[in-house]
Each structure stands twice: as C-alpha cells, then as structure tokens.
Amino acid sequence: MPEIEVRSVADLPFPELDRHTLLHLSPDRVDIDLENYGFGFGRVDKLALCELGGDRRTQVLDDVLVLALHAYEDPVIDDDVELAFWLDDEEYYEEEDDDDLDLVVTAPLALFLARRLPAIVAHVSVDRPPPAEIVLALCNPRKIVVTRPEGLKGPPIRYALGDCRSRMESDRADKEWDPDAMLCLDADEWLRIPAA
C-alpha cells in the first residue's frame, strides 16, 4: 500500500516553487530539457509571453501566477487538454514495486482548474492582492481552445497554442546567467480567457 494515495485531483501534489525551479531554469541548462516533468505554481513579478508565429508579438505581464503543467502525450480526451502528473517520489509508491516507477496520473485541465485554482489563488493572496494574470505554462500540441470552467472566478487566464518553452531573456541575448533576468515563455500563439 503506498504511503499517500491519490484518489482525486485534490490529492495530487502541486507545490509552490521558486521562479527558476518552476520553469526549470538554471545556469547549467544548455537547452530545453524534454525529460523534465516537474509541476507546481509560483507568483512572479514579470513574465514575457513571446509568440513565435504570426506577428511574433511579445507581451510583458506584471504580477503573474504561473501554473507549470504538462500535457499527456497519448490523450484519451478529445475536447480538453489532458494533464499528466509524473509521481516519482517514493512516498506515492509501494515499497520495492518496480511496476510503479512510471506512475502517471492524468486529469482534464478543466477539472484541475475548477478544483485546484481557487485554493492556489487564495494561497498566493494571503498577504497581498490576487494576481493580475494567470498563465498556464503548458504545452498544447493539439491546440485545444481552453475555456474557463463554469463558476470559476478570477483574473484572466493565458494559455499557449502549440509547444510552450521557458527561457530567460538573457538566454536569447547569449549573455551570462542572470538570475534576475526576465522570465520568458515562448509559444506559437498565446490566447487569453477574460476575467470573471
């Protein structure tokens, strides 16, 4: 029997992370790490959303709650992004059970947002106003149009069409690692769900 059972979306671990860990950025990262399956949330002062297609717009957002998520590569859901949570921490597995090494829990994005987002927003708003924007750092390879779950109140939500890749502004300029450089998320296009 695992130490912690995941029976619902509410049981999924979803930690608060510092801005670099959240987007898997470090001075040692040379290129995009396609093997990174980390997830969590964090609040950042500034974030640039850069579009690689169309007009190649860049929007700089202030006071952003970022949710780092991953889309499941073999989805069974047609009309929503299917999230994947790789639970590689030993506390979620039975001892000495090799079959559990690749445990992946999946959930529809709409369900995750409806059940988890209100508590996350409340958590990051304990001693300051709610964030001005929410950004889903999430690949959306099937370019699913994301909608706000019914009854979910809050600030605008931005999400990517296509792949979503993180970097720091200093990466593009080919400069030395600057921990204070602006965080950037690149995607083909960024869409915005209005506040409710």
Q: Domain residues of the chain, as ranges?
A: 14-29+39-83+106-193
Quote the pLDDT of residue 97: 54
Q: What is the rounded average pLDDT of the residues 60-85?
A: 93
Confidence class for position 8, pLDDT limits 50, 70, 90? confident
19 with 166: CB under 8 angstroms?
Answer: no
Lowest mean pLDDT among 4-18, 38-52, 110-124, 134-148: 4-18
d(CA 23, CA 168): 10
**CA 73 centroid distance within chain:** 15
Q: Are strands 133-137 and 157-168 parallel, antiparallel or unpaired?
A: parallel
Quote the pLDDT of residue 92: 53
Q: What is the rounded average pLDDT of the residues 120-135?
A: 97
Quote the pLDDT of residue 1: 40
Give tens-digit pLDDT for 141-180: 999 999 999 999 999 999 999 999 998 876 655 667 788 8
d(CA 96, CA 109): 32
Residue 10 phi, psi (nearest 5)? -65, -25
Quote the pLDDT of residue 25: 87
Quote the pLDDT of residue 32: 61
Q: How far is CA 89 from CA 4, 48, 73, 92, 103, in A?
A: 10, 32, 21, 6, 10
Q: In sequence order, which residues have a C-beta less than 8 Å from that of residue 190 and are 6 or more positions away? A: 49, 51, 59, 158, 159, 160, 161
pLDDT cut 70: percent of the chain above it: 82
Give tens-digit pLDDT for 82-107: 999 988 655 555 555 555 455 788 99
Can you give the pTM of this predicted structure? 0.88
